[in-house]
Chains A and B, each alone.
Chain A
Amino acid sequence: MIRVVLPAHLRTLARVDGEVELRVTGQVTQRSVLDALEARYPMLCGTVRDQDNGRRRAFVRFFACEQDLSHDPPDDPLPDAIVTGAEPFLIVGAMAGG
């Protein structure tokens, strides 16, 4: 299972506490993880990535294994530690504003 940590506002919106666990079929990439996330929690559509062009929203970041993966191509494989569930995939609201 893929572990995903959502920012607080999106946990509230999705009505979940703590981490989300997702089953991802095929290669584990940013795109396939977000596809699985949005399929299970459709209210999150549009909050992490643009619904028209699929691009990450400007003030959302993707972290994993102490790395910033935000600028990686969305179809690149994610680290093995994410695939095995050893580490979570972090969706982070960037620090900006108040």
Chain B
Amino acid sequence: MSGVRVLVGTRKGAFVLKSDGRREQWDISGPHFPGWEIYHVKGSPADPDRLYASQSSGWFGQLIQRSDDGGTTWEPVGNKFSYDGVAGTHQWYDGTPHPWEFARVWHLEPALDDPDTVYAGVEDAGLFRSTDGGQQWQELPGLRRHHTGPSWQPGAGGMCLHTLLLDPATPGRMFAAISAAGAFRSEDAGETWRPVNQGLRSDGIPDPAAEVGHCVHRIAMHPSRPSVLYMQKHWDVMRSDDAGDSWHEVSGNLPTDFGFPIDVHAHEPDTVYVVPITSDSLHYPPEGKLRVYRSRTGGDDWEPLTTGLPQRDCYVNVLRDAMAVDSLDSCGIYFGTTGGQVYASADAGDNWAPIVRDLPAVLSVEVQTLP
């Protein structure tokens, strides 16, 4: 029988949650790498037993861990992330030039067709690639060297490349998102990039419609229709129907359009999920009610999903990398909270239940659908 494996990164270690296709009973292993921040854990689409994890610590820096058995055992691999050539400067919070400094890996994106190729999105914003299973990392410097780079500024969480989407239909096309620079697209496997932020409006920057400077929180696509992108921006839920060339707002009837994650149903490219958060200064759900909102129309028209989620006194957040979907016939939706809960719905969001309630603050959630 098919099953799922949920890969959870937290402030104090990684956890692997496993279930069969019914998604009712769960086996929980961890913490792996106890005491370390695990920003992201992700499996290879080409080999589900190959996992990569980003392990970091304010004391001991960055490590990358690799598993070849689905998360049972792990081995540290390469952790040298050196910017190519002269690193240059970006803007600091006070507007002064600040040298690019590596801080940590936020996001790991294994290649679609090769388990040994994996991309790393890092803070300060840059993109690295390994083609030997994580042993050696080389920067793809075209993104950092974009002519707008010296004007990029960090968001409150740092200047991070947190989202990388690989287009399964157009070889070499990929999308990246950086807080707070915006969205970028490459057509040549990451060698060169251009900003794709037309249509975004951000009132917190001097020119609300600037080419760069937008605090994009997350981008999602459906693999069957990769030219349609959905974005949760700092404020605003946005949609592009032309691979990012232009964006329009689809916040519609959401109670607030601030939030972090956004994801798409595995079988319905027009079914989209967000978790509205009160505001940029109040990082918890409105009215203390944890609600996932679902649109079945590709945005604009949203319905709250509440069954099984706390509807009073709930003041957790859901971070940008902490939502994922499985691809079982009845699509499963998963998200983790800063309160340590991981919630799952086996019926596309209609009903929810916690898999686990008391983990450390959840930083990331990924799901593998297993044969």
A residues with a Cβ closer than 8 A to B are: 7, 9-10, 12-13, 43, 45-48, 50-52, 57, 59-60, 93-94, 96-97
The answer on a CB contact under 8 Å between B79 and A94 is: no
B62 lies within 8 A of chain A by Cβ:
yes
In the complex formed, the residue of B with least CB distance to A60 is B59
Given the known A-B contacts A51-B82, A52-B82, are A13 and B59 also in contact in the complex, defined by CB atoms under 8 Å?
no
Q: Give chain B's interface residues, CB within 8 Å of chain A.
A: 34-36, 57-63, 76, 79-80, 82
Q: Which one of B60, B62, B76 lies within 8 Å of A9 (CB-CB)?
A: B60
In the bound complex, CA of A52 to CA of B79 (Å)? 11
Q: Complex Cα distance A48/B63, Å?
A: 12
Instruction: Note all chain A residues with C-beta closer than 8 A to B79.
Output: 45-46, 51
Q: What are 21 A-B pairs at a CB distance below 8 A?
A: A7-B59, A9-B59, A9-B60, A10-B60, A13-B60, A43-B63, A46-B61, A46-B63, A46-B80, A47-B61, A47-B63, A51-B82, A52-B80, A57-B59, A57-B61, A59-B58, A59-B59, A60-B59, A93-B59, A93-B60, A96-B58
Quote the shortest CB–CB distance from A50 to chain B (angstroms): 8
Chain A residues with CB below 8 A from B60, complex form: 7, 9-10, 13, 47-48, 57, 60, 93
Contacts of A7 in B (CB 8 A): 59-60
What is the distance, in angstroms, from B136's C-beta to the closest C-beta of chain A? 12
Complex-state Cα separation, A75 to B35, whole angstroms? 32
Q: Nearest Cβ in chain A — how far from B57, in angstroms?
A: 7
Is there contact, CB below 8 Å, between B80 and A94? no
A33 to B60, CA, bound (A): 18
A-side contacts of B63, CB under 8 Å: 13, 43, 46-47
Assuming the contacts A9-B35, A13-B76, A51-B80, asked whether A97 and B62 have C-beta atoms less than 8 A apart, the reply is no
Residue of B nearest to A59 (CB): B59
Chain A residue at smallest Cβ distance from B87: A52
Candidate in A47, A60, A97 with the most chain B CB atoms within 10 angstroms: A47
| Chain B contacts for A59, CB-based, 8 A | 58-59
